[in-house]
A and B are shown apart, each in its own frame.
Chain A
Amino acid sequence: EAGVAQSPRYKIIEKRQSVAFWCNPISGHATLYWYQQILGQGPKLLIQFQNNGVVDDSQLPKDRFSAERLKGVDSTLKIQPAKLEDSAVYLCASSSVAGAGETQYFGPGTRLLVL
């Protein structure tokens, strides 16, 4: 089965510009996650979707970050305007169901550098 797809793989922008990342989860997976991974740290959850509804966005900086999953499949994460501290790898993951103990499958990530 195909894995989680993400694009672009790399992005370099200047501060105050906007950027968008795209994710296509594993077919049939209802739950989709966006994580931020800063160099030297573990992934940190930004937002979790169940189908096209938001389950948890408590750690999403809503003044600049937004995410959507309109048809319950693909998802887009946007940053506007970007700050230097947003430089990180943005990982998308999916799982067949939501719940403690469920295995999450990660995409390769988008590496963002904000100058």
Chain B
Amino acid sequence: SQKIEQNSEALNIQEGKTATLTCNYTNYSPAYLQWYRQDPGRGPVFLLLIRENEKEKRKERLKVTFDTTLKQSLFHITASQPADSATYLCALYNQGGKLIFGQGTELSVKP
């Protein structure tokens, strides 16, 4: 079955640095991959979608890459701010059209 792995350990970085989060997947070749942000006590919020034929996607300070050979997506936040502190979830659509989520990576940006 499809499996998604994200950094299980929390990522702590200094304000102004670039945060890089990793998402690896196995047993599938998704056509789409999404990234969501989840704050404590709230539901996930959609950030970006990248298609299999797109190598890179940008939105303001966010950048997502999608390497279908490595079966990996990287999520970057440049010039990070304390307000970026949250859990970031990677998700892909499986062959049945179901959205499968990774376990999430907690990001903490210190001032």
Interface residues of A (CB under 8 A from B): 4, 33, 40-45, 48, 56, 91, 93, 98-101, 103-109, 111
Q: Which residues of B contact A107 (CB under 8 A)?
A: 43
User: If A40-B103, A100-B93 touch, does A45 touch B98 (CB 8 Å cutoff)?
Assistant: yes
B interface residues with partner A (beta carbon < 8 Å)? 4, 31-32, 34, 41-46, 49, 51, 89, 91, 93, 96-99, 101-104
A33: chain B residues within 8 A (beta carbon): 99
**In the complex, A43→B97 CA distance in Å?**
15
The answer to whether B89 and A42 touch across the interface, beta carbons within 8 angstroms, is: yes
Known: A40-B103, A56-B98. A101 touches B46 (CB 8 A): no
Q: Is the CB of B93 within 8 A of A44?
A: no
Contacts of B102 in A (CB 8 A): 42
Bound CA span A44–B41, Å: 17
Closest to B97 in A: A100
A101: B residues at CB distance < 8 A: 31-32, 49, 51, 93
* Interface SS of chain A: loop
B101 touches A106 (CB 8 A): no
Add 9 more A-B contacts to A33-B99, A98-B97, A103-B46 (CB < 8 A).
Answer: A4-B43, A42-B102, A42-B104, A45-B99, A48-B98, A56-B97, A101-B93, A104-B46, A108-B41
Taking a contact as CB atoms under 8 Å apart, the answer to whether B101 and A44 are in contact is: yes
Contact of B32 among A45, A100, A108 (CB under 8 A): A100
Kindly state the separation between the CA atoms of A99 and B51 in the bound complex, as whole angstroms. 14
CA of A103 to CA of B44 in the docked complex: distance in angstroms?
11
Which residues of A sit under 8 angstroms from B101, Cβ to Cβ? 42-44
Residues of chain A with a CB closer than 8 A to B93's CB: 100-101
Cross-chain contact A103 with B89 (CB below 8 angstroms): no
In the complex, what's the smallest C-beta–C-beta distance from A45 to chain B, in angstroms? 6
Chain B contacts of A40 at CB under 8 A? Answer: 103
